[in-house]
Amino acid sequence: MRRGIVTHGWDRAALAALTGFAAVLAVGSVFVVMAKLAVPDFGAGKSPLWIMARIGVAGLGALGIPIERAGEGASVLPVGALILVGWILAWATRKVVETSGAFTLRERVLEGLKVAIPFALGCFIASFVFRLRDRDPSLGADPSWALILGLVWGAIFGALGGLWAVGVRDAADAGDRWLENRPLLRDGLRTGATMLVGLGLLSAVVVVAAIALKVAFGGAPPISGGEAAAFVLAVILFGPNLVAGAAAFSLGGPVGVLARTIDGARVASEVSLLGWDAGRPSAYLYLLILVPAAAFAYGGYHARRSGAGLPAEVIGIAAGVVGVSVAFLTWITRLRVSQAFLGRGNYLVAAAEVLPAFVLSVAFAGLFGYLGWRAGDKASTKNPV
């Protein structure tokens, strides 16, 4: 049995999976540190096993695995934490794949996919080991979802590790060769990617500006140094969630927001720039419509200036790519206020609706992408390359 495991590379896959699971526990420890910073009495007088149980539960929860109690569970996915775990898992996979003897792109990706099985088994076993048994009933990660999501994330980041072992340029060249005879699809995908990058960067600027303005002029209740440090860590771990929520809001979709504080919290009803069965925000927030308008118009402009083909096909494909991507990102980054970790006086995008985000992103990408294309067309006429 040992010879078979070694021959087929499962020992190397298990080593990479173990490294990834160590990252899961490291992220869990960050959440425990955040709790200690915000509530100094947290864990006072408790045993190391009490602390380890919370580290394990928090780490598994950071993968989006539902934390259940008495058969009822809820999940929240801090995408910043997931990216950290995924990067470490992909890095470890790359190291073992490079020594596996696999050479072609297909062989190395398949070798990377092996990591998913031991990683999923590790998450499954950990869901039984790490449980908060000082409560009745006990609180812990859902074993079924631990196995499923462990397999999903292990496969995704394992495959990325295999591609990383091939080399970024070699993998990109392989993709270009596949798209070589499909110019419209190639141009559409590139235009969609440009639009998404622009939307993400501008939304990130909005989030940073909102936090800065809140700190400077928000009049929040005084917080301790520990609470401030916990808030900084929370922003890092939940940063992509905030960016995705800001993007969905700037598109006009309804978003639920935390209106006051976690202490005696009250939650505002959903707000939306375009109504959409939700309340309307302050007038100055309508300037945020410029975020998707600028990002999508630049995507169309850049596509035309880069010599892309027919506008209807290219912008149509790009709009589809943007719509599916925004819907997926909105879905995985949704936060429920009752589960999010926040200090006093902090605001957080809580939950953007997926369907409106999809519909509006497709419509806006098509409209502003075409307007950007037309602007690029005029610029090309005046200044032909």
- Quick: pLDDT tens for 156-171: 999 998 888 776 555 5
Q: Cα–chain-centroid distance for residue 279?
A: 27
- Note the pLDDT of residue 170: 57
- What pTM value is reported for the model? 0.79
Over residues 58-65, the mean pLDDT reads 90
What's the whole-number mean pLDDT along residues 107-130? 91
pLDDT tens per residue, range 236-270: 888 888 898 889 889 988 887 655 444 444 555 67
Inform me whether the pLDDT recorded for 181 exceeds 70.
Answer: no
**What is the pLDDT averaged over residues 221-241?**
77
pLDDT of res. 383: 60
Poorest-confidence range of 101-110, 175-184, 324-333? 175-184
Q: Which of 106-120, 257-271, 341-355 has the highest mean pLDDT?
A: 106-120
pLDDT tens sequence across 32-53? 888 888 777 877 777 888 889 8
